A and B are shown apart, each in its own frame.
Chain A
Amino acid sequence: MSGNGAVWGRVRGRLRAFPERLAACRAEAAAYGRCVQASTAPGGRLTKDLCVQEFKALRSCFAAAVVRVLPSGTLCYFNVPFFTEGQDDPKGRPLGWTSLHYVCVCCPQP
């Protein structure tokens, strides 16, 4: 440990935000957990990168989940997506997302 411990403090700060960021990605975490649990059933074998797709989804959600704690104690999640309405194609099927925005949703801390 050197100096004023600034690097250490930053690393620990990031680690302290892990629980909130994980809470923002419950669906992906549950999907990954189900995949790993399925491999523990009789006849299954858990090998490296067996559930890599689910983990990639979880990882990207986790990385996008930036949580800031405002001075008043409320938590701000920066990864809540919403999309603008898409136009339908000539056959009437929706074209899906036309643009993806991220909005900051500030919820009071439970």
Chain B
Amino acid sequence: MRLLYRGEMLRLGVLCLWRRRPLVFGVPAKNLGLRKVASGVSPPGSTSPRALNIFDRDLKRKQKNWAARQPEPMKFDYLKEEVGSRIADRVYDIARKFSLALDVGCGRGYIAQHLNKETVGKFFQVDIAENALKNTLEMEIPTVSVLADEEFLPFRENTFDLVVSSLSLHWVNDLPRALEQIHYVLKPDGVFIGAMFGGDTLYELRCSLQLAETEREGGFSPHVSPFTAVNDLGHLLGRAGFNTLTVDTDEIQVNYPGMFELMEDLQGMGESNCAWNRKALLHRDTMLAAAAVYGEMYGNEDGSVPATYQIYYMIGWKYHDSQAQPAERGSATVSFGELGKINNLMSQEKKSQ
């Protein structure tokens, strides 16, 4: 039975308050299944015919709206600010000026605030939560805010020189399709720089909840959403048509006083669980047991507990003739067997030039 909460999002998605009876609200039939949105983008390649529907996008929009409307949203921004600044570093590493850039799933604009007008001419911010777009951070680049879903980008083909995405693609239902759409809206020789949560993210929370639920209730259900593995990322980007891929991984560890504070921060970031298969109920006993297990298994000496965020940064380019091509077959002048003498070969080449 699916549970939807009307009104503002007051329920912690990752943990749920104990209630005597589960709340059930009517689910309008039109909200079930995939959203049908007319969009100008039709990806050339075909994705899987079976509709992927893991996450409740409607609920995610409500959660992000609620998080953006908090009295102190900057209290929970630390992770996204940090990743946003690291993505901006990668943009600066590319020695080019991008006249038109797109931020998919921008939140309050964590990437654009670190960039300057010399690097990016105009910025399009796309997010599904209107409150996040209303409370954007200060930035010097002229921006246009567009309310759109990451899977249904309302832009024409070959529009953008640069597309960035920071920590929002882990909530899209059809990730291959989203990456294909990003590839579609990029100009040839355009670049996509993205950051996503990796498989090891929040493993301490996942394990503690799993052990506590097994011990207290005899079974367990997933409470932390599934993340992409690094091999799959490479395959996905290649399948979407990107060239010259780069994927690197980074781990950020944040210490919290306890498990409850971690869950409160996750809710404040708008990262509450919205998977359809989430269990609606988390008993107080299980919460207490999980907090005890978390503190004992992973706690630091001073009593705080760490939470790991593993971030994958990916860079992919849209094909252009000017890009470096693999060499023609049979054009090799040196054999791999002579790799040990590469220093001599290089100095010989320099002398001959």
Contact = CB atoms under 8 A, between A and B. Distances in A.
A18 B217 CA distance: 20
B289 interface: yes
Nearest to B261: A19
Contacts of B297: 33, 36-37
B251 interface: no
Contacts of A49: 215-216
B137 interface: no
A70 B218 CA distance: 40
Interface size classification for chain A: 20 to 34
B295 A29 contact: yes
A47 B296 CA distance: 19
Interface in B220-262: 257-258, 260-261
Contact of B293 (A15, A19, A37): A37
B10 interface: yes
Interface in A16-44: 18-19, 22-23, 26, 28-30, 32-34, 36-37, 39-40
A100 interface: no
B211 A32 contact: no
Contacts of B303: 26
B290 to A, nearest CB: 10
B172 interface: no
A28 B295 CA distance: 12
Nearest to A15: B17
B68 interface: no
Given A18-B291, A29-B295, 17 more contacts: A12-B10, A26-B295, A29-B292, A29-B296, A33-B292, A33-B294, A34-B296, A36-B212, A36-B215, A46-B211, A47-B215, A48-B215, A48-B216, A48-B217, A51-B215, A55-B285, A58-B289
